[in-house]
Structure 1
Amino acid sequence: MRVERTVIPGARVVTPHHHVDERGELFESLRTDLLARDLGRPFAPRQITYSTSRRNTLRGLHSVAAPPGQAKYVTCVRGALRDIIVDLRVGSPAWGRHHVTELDAASGRSVFIPEGVAHGFLALTDDTRVCYVLSTVHVPGTQIDIDPLDPELALPWGFTEPPLMSEKDAGARSLAATRAAGLLARWGDTGDTGPLLS
């Protein structure tokens, strides 16, 4: 698999090598040893969760309070989506910057999202299924929801009609309100303070 860095420290895009023959194909979606070597720290999965979404569904922006914090390895296993991550670690050299990745089942491409970085996606097809490999189990009351349509973030979702959103996401706080409430992780408290790529 090929591990690529992004403008967000600690975030990676992982593209597998496909082995194809007359029977079909095989690829490794996750190698924690290779990911850990690139990150300089281990990624130990504790929970795997799936979601299924209709086309034009917008899920996010979500993060998890630290502690416990939560790193995510996100893969589209059916359909296609536009994945967006935003560095919301207070004090990060990449504060407020985002990275967009198109994920689809055919490519097997994945995104690794470090603790403190918010995540969301727009489903591009009906029956889009996403697999989340998580570093911590779900702890009720620790999820942080931020308005994905906040003008301060101005994220390039690319929808052409109003997206389908949960009531919780549609009513989420703005980035400014979330920061003022002291809910965001601080840079250096999330385990990754690697250099910012140019």
Structure 2
Amino acid sequence: MNIMPTEFDGVLVVEPGRFGDGRGFFSETYNRRQWAEAGIDADFVQDNQSLSAARGTVRGMHWQAPPHAQAKLIRVTRGAILDVVVDIRRGSPTFGRHLAVELSAENWRQLFIPAGFAHGFCTLTENVEAIYKVDAYYAPEAEGGFLWNDPALGIAWPVAAEAAALSAKDRALPAFGAARIPDFTQGGRERR
């Protein structure tokens, strides 16, 4: 397993090994011991899976507020996505900046996102299956988000706004500057 840091403190690109032969392949996609040796202390408690049928489906930008803040490990088992995170940790030198990483069944990369980042993705193919491990249970009362294509963020999404497939909930999210972003330094579980 290759774990690569990014310019954002705590956000990691992970490349699990994949061993194949004529029958297919085998991959160890998560190993708690290896994560601990790398200094990552996330204790995953829930696995989520989504299927997005249409190319150009956008899910995001979302977070859960402390004390229900979530770290996530995202991977794609079918198709491809542009996975995007925005740093929402006030006081962080990268606050309000974003990182975009292509995750696909072909490149087999994963993205580890600590608490304090808004997360979303856009499907690059049809019939995309994404799996995310999270280290806090879903808490609807702690949900937050902002508009995925707010021009203030400068995210180069691979789909035009009028062509994006979005939920009504995501269409109604406020702009980044109007979002009620919580304080991730108070009342949340400490994470690396």
TM-score normalised by the chain length of structure 2: 0.91
TM-superposed deviation, 1:33 = 2.2
CA distance in 1, matches of 2:103, 2:57: 15
Residue deviations 1:21-52, cap 9 Å, x none? 222211111122222332x2411111111111
2:182 aligns to what SS in structure 1? coil
Uncovered stretches (5+) of structure 1, i.e. residues with no partner? 194-198
Please give the residue correspondences for 1:35-50 in structure 2 after superposition, counting only pairs within 5 Å.
Answer: 35-38=35-38, 40-50=39-49
- For residue 151 of structure 2, give the secondary structure of its aligned residue in structure 1: coil
1:191 to 2:169 alignment: no
Task: Point out 4+ residue stretches in structure 1 off by more than 4 angstroms.
Answer: 187-190
* TM-aligned CA distance change 1:18 to 1:71, over 3 Å: same
Aligned to 1:163: 164
The residue number in structure 1 matching 2:9 is 9
Aligned residues: 189
Q: 1:104 and 1:171 mapped to 2: Cα distance?
A: 28
Q: Does 1:148 align with 2:155?
A: no
RMSD: 1.7
Q: Quick check: 2:19–2:25 contact (8 Å CA) kept in 1?
A: yes
Deviation at 1:125, TM superposition (A): 1.0
TM-score by length of 1: 0.89
Q: How does 1:33-182 map to 2 (within 5 A)?
A: 33-38=33-38, 40-53=39-52, 54-160=54-160, 162-178=163-179, 181=180
Say if 1:91 and 1:186, in contact at 8 Å, map to a contact too.
no
Percent identity (aligned) = 33
Q: Is the 8 A contact 1:82 1:123 kept in 2?
A: yes
Structure 2, gaps ≥5 residues long:
none
